Chain A
Amino acid sequence: MWQRSDGAILWLASKLTVRLELPAAHEYEMKLKAEKEQKARESVPQF
Chain B
Amino acid sequence: MEFATVARLTALFISLCRCVAGNKSGRIRRVKHWQIALAIFASLSASFALADDFKTVSGKEYKDATVSRIEADGIVIRTKGGISKVYFTELPGDVQERFHHHHSAQDAHSTAHREATVAKQHATSAEQRLGGTADQFAAWYGEPNDSPILDKNFPLLDGAIHHTYTYEGWRIRAAFVPPDGRAVRMEYSKNITAGVNALIQDYELQAIVTANTPPGATWKETMYNNSASPNKGLSKIAEA
Contact = CB atoms under 8 A, between A and B. Distances in A.
Do A and B pair up? The answer is: yes
Interface of A: 1-6, 8-22, 24-26, 28-29, 32
B17 interface: no
Nearest to A28: B177
Contact of B220 (A3, A11, A20): A3
B185 A16 contact: no
Contacts of B159: 28, 32
Interface of B: 130-131, 156-160, 175, 177, 182, 184-190, 198-200, 205, 208-209, 212-214, 216-224, 226, 228-231, 235, 238-240
B160 A3 contact: no
B240 A25 contact: no
12 contacts: A1-B224, A2-B222, A3-B219, A8-B130, A13-B235, A16-B198, A17-B200, A18-B189, A18-B205, A19-B230, A20-B186, A25-B177
A12 B219 contact: no
Q: Which 10 pairs across A and B sit closest by C-beta, in order of nearness?
A: A25-B184, A21-B185, A12-B240, A25-B185, A18-B188, A24-B184, A22-B184, A2-B219, A17-B189, A20-B186
B contact patch SS = loop
Given A1-B226, A18-B205, A28-B157, A13 B231 contact: yes
Given A2-B219, A21-B184, 7 more contacts: A1-B240, A9-B226, A18-B187, A18-B208, A20-B187, A24-B177, A32-B159
B51 to A, nearest CB: 37
Contacts of A24: 177, 182, 184
Given A6-B217, A9-B229, A21-B130, A1 B189 contact: no
B157 A4 contact: no
